[in-house]
Chains A and B, each alone.
Chain A
C-alpha cells in the first residue's frame, strides 16, 4: 500500500502556484491582473449577479406588513452570493477526462463542449452572437438556425403559430454582457491531469470581470440559459404579467429579469415541466454540455434559498464567498436576519423539556423461533396485485 506523504498543500498555495498563473496568462490577462483575479476569489459580473438577485427577490422579497423584523428579504443579506458560490463550486472538471475533440463512440467529453465565447454587442443580434460559439462552423450555424426555425415553428408540438427566429433575435437580451467567454486555461496535451482551471471573461460597458476558477463556472452560464428560456417563455405568451424592459432594479440582467417576480418562477418551471429544454435544446446545448442538468438546476435554484437564507449562512458576513475552511461565523447562528424571523434560537447543547416513553415496559420482541406472524395481511392494508418487480 502507498503511504500518504502529502505535505498538505493549501488552497492558497495552489491558487498562487505557477500552474494557476500560467493558466490565466494564456487568456490574455497580464500577470498582475491574474494575481488580482486569483487573490480576489470568485468575482461576479453584473449579468450574473442581477439575474440571481432577481430570483432571490422573487422567492424572498421584502415584506412590509408582517412585522418589523420581517421586512428585509434575501437581497438584504446578498443571498445571490450563496447561489453563485454553490453553482461555481458544483463540478470539478478533470483534464485527464477531456479530449481535444469529442469522441461519441466512447462518450468522451471534449474541451470545446465546455468552452463558450460570444459577443452580443459585436453581432447583429444576441442570437447570432450566441450561435457564433467556439467550435461551431458557419455551416453549422446555418444548419442550427434552419433547425431552430423548423423546431420553433411548432414549439409545443401541437401545431398552431410558432416562434419566428426573427422574434427570438429581437427579444433575446443578455443585459450588460458585451462579450462572454469561458475557456479552459490549462494545456490539454496528452498526459495532463488534475482539475481544469477555467477563465471567465465578461465584458460590459462599465468594465470587465475576469475570473480564474477551479470548477466549471456554472454560476455565470446558467443566467445566460435563463435569458434564452425567458425569451421563449415570452414569445409563447406564457407570461401573465407585463414585461418590463430595462428593469432598473436589476440593470445588469437580460430578458429573464424583465419578467415579473411570479413570471420569473413560472419561466424557471417551464424548464422542468414545460418542455422548454427539449424545444430549446439546439440553443442551450451550445452553452451546457448536458442540457438535462437544467432540471436539476431549477430544483437547486429553489432549494438553495433554504440552505442559504434560513440557515446561519448570512452570519459568515464578508467571508461568505470564501472557501469553507476560511469562513468565519461573525454573527451567532440564532441572530442572523432569518432567525429573527423564525424564532429559532440556534444550536443548543440540549433542552429542558418534559418527555415520556409511550410504551410502558418497551416493545414486545420474541425470539425468532417464537414469532407467530400472520400468514397474510388483511383488510385495507392489501393492495391487490401490486405491480413492481422486474418492470
Chain B
C-alpha cells in the first residue's frame, strides 16, 4: 500500500496534510523505538549487521511510502518539501523505530555535499540509492596525523590519465566495515599551501585495495575503523568538485556536519529516541532516581532537573539556530553554537548519570537499573570529539561568528610539503 498522494495539481502538499498522512501510516508500518537501549549500545557483530540490515529495509519502506528524503529535490528521489515538513515529521515519527543511523553521515553530510557539488551523473547515481537505503555512506576525513586540522590531510591521490592512485590511511571512521561508500578528502598537490592542494572523491569501501581494520572503543563497541589504501585506483568520474579545490567542498562539508550534529539540518529525517528531552521519550535519569529510591533526595532532584533543563535548552537552541540560518538571521557558521551545546550538555548529563548511579558505576548486576551508567561515563567525551571537537567549535564561534582574530598558524602561504608535521627530528640530544 502506498500512502503517497502528493497534490495532483503540482502545488506543494501542506504540512498539515503531510503530517496527517504520516500519522495515519506510521502505526501500521513501523515498530515503536526500543527506548530501553541506551545511546552507544553495543552488541555482537551479528547483531550489528542485523541492525544495519533492518535499518536499510526501514529506509526502503519509508521511501516506498513517500516519506524519505523530505527536503531532497524530487529529481533525485526526494520529496522536495520544506524544513517545516521535516520538523513536523520528526515530531510524529519520534516514537517509532526510525533508521536514524542513516541520517548522519549518509544524508548529512555526504548526501548534502553531493547535492551541492556532485555532477548530475553522480547525483542520479547515488542520491536515490541513499534514499532507498541501498547505499550507506561514511566520512573519510580524519587521518592518524590529526583530525582537527582537516585540511592537513596527507593521504594522497596522484593522477594517472582518467584515474587517480591513492595511498595512505583514514582513521576514526565509524561503521566503515558495514558501509558502502566513503566521501574522502585527499591531497592532490603538495606544492601549494595546504588548502589549495586537496580534492574530494567518492570511494567504494568494499574492494581489495582497501583494508578496513576495526578498533575497539571504551564501551566495547567495535564501530570505529581505520582504512589502509594501497595503490587504490579510482576513476576521475568519482571526483566531487574541482581538482585541488577540495577545500571549497570541505568547508561546506564541515558546515553540514556541524548543523546536523546540532540537530538543525533539513536533510536528516526522524530523530533518535530522546532521553528526557521533553514530553516525548524516556528520561533514563529520572527512572534511575525513581528505581533507586532517590526521588525524595533534594540533591538527586537537583541533578535530574538539571539534566532535563540542559536537554531542553539544547533542543530549543538547535531549533533556534536551524531556523536562524534558514531565515538568514544568523550566519551559517552559527551551526557551531548548536554543536558546542550538544557536546557540553552530553558531558554534563553523563556525569550526572554517574552521580545518580553511585557505586553501581563500579560494579553492577545485569538487572541493576544503574548498569551501563559507568560505561556511559567512561565514554563521556565521545560527543565532544566526534564530528569535530568542542575546541574547534569554540574556535568557529569566536572567529567566524564573533569575528575575533584567527589563531596564528605556521602553515599559511607555505607549500604543504614544507609545513611542520611533527616535532623536529631529535638532533642527537638524549631525553
Q: Is B a genuine binding partner of A?
A: no
Q: Give A residues with C-beta under 8 Å from B.
A: none
B residues apposed to A, CB below 8 Å: none
